[in-house]
Structure 1
Amino acid sequence: PEEKATLGQAQHTAWETVQRGHGVANGCYIAATNRVGTEGQTQFWGQSFVSNPYGEIIAKATSDQEEVLIADCDLEKQKEFRRIWPFLRDRRIDAYSDLTKRLRD
């Protein structure tokens, strides 16, 4: 509870924004899960959600109870997004080796 009171809504907003951004960057639906309740001094936010490739939230759970969240994912919409914003097609895999070198050494 202390962490939630100190960091406020900004922490949750940042988490949600990052998850939605992953969907946009990868052109896919995202199912972001978050638990509810308290463990030790940590109070969890809940509010699991599903977002579409455009980062729009299409289903969202509550903050105070366990839930099963179901959402319809339109794969044609995903295909259209990837055609318009071809991030995966245009990535430069050849440039990754320097980034991963320290992990391999």
Structure 2
Amino acid sequence: MTRSVLVAGAAMSLFTAMAGLCTDAQAATGSFSYQRADTGGFTTIDNPPDHFCFILSGEALSVHNGTNSTAILYEDAECDPNQFLDAAQPGQTLSFGVRLPLSVRFG
């Protein structure tokens, strides 16, 4: 009986710790939008999680960071730090010429 209680207690402790890890994930509040280079249309990402790499389909001619987090823009589709292009601060709009961003990460 004591052993069952110990196992159940350990399982509950592990579950509680894992639940705490899940709630610690941060997300930017607000919307990030960009104008696609391929169609000229606009795409929006709402409340993006921090540290997740988003592919900007069609590449971006311009971006508007309406979130409360810095948007880090890259020239590749994998947010490779060696392909860093620019950073859009909260509330900032950026336009691009020859070098176009293909991915973004927040945080």
Same fold, judged at TM 0.5 (above):
no
Q: What TM-score results when the alignment is normalised by the length of structure 2?
A: 0.31
User: Which structure ranks higher in relative contact order (CA pairs < 8 Å, sequence separation ≥ 6)?
Assistant: 2
Higher CA-based Rg:
2
Structure with greater proportional helix content: 1
Answer 1 or 2: which has greater strand percent.
2
